[in-house]
Amino acid sequence: MAIGIIAEFNPLHKGHEYILKRAGEYGPVVCVLSGNFVQRGDTALAEKRTRALAALNCGADVVLELPVLWSMSTAQNFALGGISALKYAGCDKVIFGSECGDIEKLCKAADILASDEFSEKLAKRLKSGVTFASARQSAGEDCGVYPGILAGANDNLAIEYIAAAKKLNYSPEFIAVKRMGAPHDFTKVSKDAEFASASLLRKKLLEGDFDFCKRYMSEKAFDITVSEPFSDITRLEKAILAVLRSRTIDELSVLPDLSEGVENKLFSAVRLATSLTQLYNTLKVKRYTLARIRRLVLSAFIGADNSFFMKPLNYLRVLGFGGAGEKYIKEKLSLSPVPVITRTADFKKLDKRDYSVFETECRATDLYMLSLPAVQKCGLEYTTKIIKTEC
């Protein structure tokens, strides 16, 4: 069997490398990797195939794609997409980073969050106008969730992975690796720290401070990452504003994770905003986090709707594989209950509904190419071959 990991690797740092090495102790490592737009509502610093190559060189055997409809989404939808991919890939174990590192506490939290008592208390708190995250944390702790566990970004994702597996009748062994060093999204690091957050590394890479980054990234991942151009969402600013100004209220009303008539507020805000920052600030809604607003804006930009929101993946796309990965694809992925895509022509085997996921991915990648220092042409999803390494 195999062990699975769901990741962005944005960029792949020593903390990620440690988890990949731990995963390799259990068998072949299958990684489900986010596409070119990520959960925080931003472009990935490096194109997904660059990150896939880094993963393969640092311990992954097979890298599968988490399409943009799941990679740039809520924690619940992100987890459902990733876990469904690991289920269909035949993984009997799932490994992840965690602030608490305690599987029992995480499983208990997942059970509580699925209870009617929690749902009632969550609904009551949401009516008071607080953010979903705040309401979820207070309602969860009131129902017996271990204090503080819902405040950790990695713990939250871990809980959603466990919940998604239950929803899919999938029972892998979950392995939590206690997060060490800098907290998630922490933008400072002490001189003697062994690890730095991906947020800080993105900032330093964009600033060109490669000496700093080299200390906290494996040599293989660092060399691959800096050899390719970096994306910067600010290069898309006018394009995003232009596309959103062309969207109708009907088109905005079917965006994923939309509620409370925010499409009307978005329709008005985009006609006033002259920058992304102004658009985000104009769109501020008490119950919407900034990340949720950014995802909403980018969903409108790439033309995503709610057709696949909170639904599992229906195919597996292989971005790359190493030496052991080729054997796994032939012997295990060939038994998958869903189509396995190893070349663009394979997408023609999908039905119309699932093919639309690929069409959205193509559109997202074409738009992502505008965020690079030198604008790239369209069609990368059709022309780029699967990655093969000897690792």
Tokens of residue 94, six digits:
């799932």
End-to-end CA distance of the chain: 19
- How many domains in the chain? 2
In the chain the beta strands, taken as DSSP E runs, fall at 2-7, 29-34, 37-38, 42-43, 62-66, 91-98, 173-178, 316-321, 340-341, 387-388
In a domain, 167, yes or no: yes
Determine contact, residues 121/143, Cβ cutoff 8 Å.
Answer: yes
Q: What CATH number does the domain containing 212 carry?
A: 3.40.50.620
Half-sphere exposure of residue 161, counting CA atoms within 13 Å on the CB side?
Answer: 29
Sign of CA dihedral 371, 372, 374, 375: negative
For residues 174 and 262, membership in a common domain is answered with no
Single pTM value for the model: 0.94
In a domain, 143, yes or no: no
Q: At what angle do helices 153-167 and 103-113 cross, to 10 degrees?
A: 60
For residues 283 and 213, membership in a common domain is answered with no
Residue 165's identity, in one-letter code, is A
For residues 302 and 259, membership in a common domain is answered with yes
302-311: burial string, b at 16+ Cβ within 10 Å, e else: bebbeebbbe
Q: Which domain-ending residue is among 226, 251, 286?
A: 226
Residues 185, 46, 325: CA angle, nearest 5 degrees: 100
Containing domain of residue 172, as a range? 2-99+152-226
For residues 73 and 156, membership in a common domain is answered with yes
In a domain, 60, yes or no: yes
pLDDT tens for the chain, 391 residues: list them: 899 999 999 999 999 999 999 999 999 999 999 999 999 999 999 999 999 999 999 999 999 999 999 999 999 999 999 999 999 999 999 999 999 999 999 999 999 999 999 999 999 888 887 878 888 899 999 999 999 899 899 999 999 999 999 999 999 999 999 977 555 555 566 555 678 999 999 999 999 999 999 999 989 999 999 999 999 999 999 999 999 999 999 999 999 999 878 999 999 999 999 999 999 999 987 778 899 999 999 999 999 999 999 999 999 999 999 988 999 999 999 999 999 999 999 998 899 999 999 999 999 999 999 999 999 999 999 999 999 998 6
Instruction: Give the Cα separation of 183 and 23 in Å (integer).
Output: 21
For residues 55 and 192, membership in a common domain is answered with yes
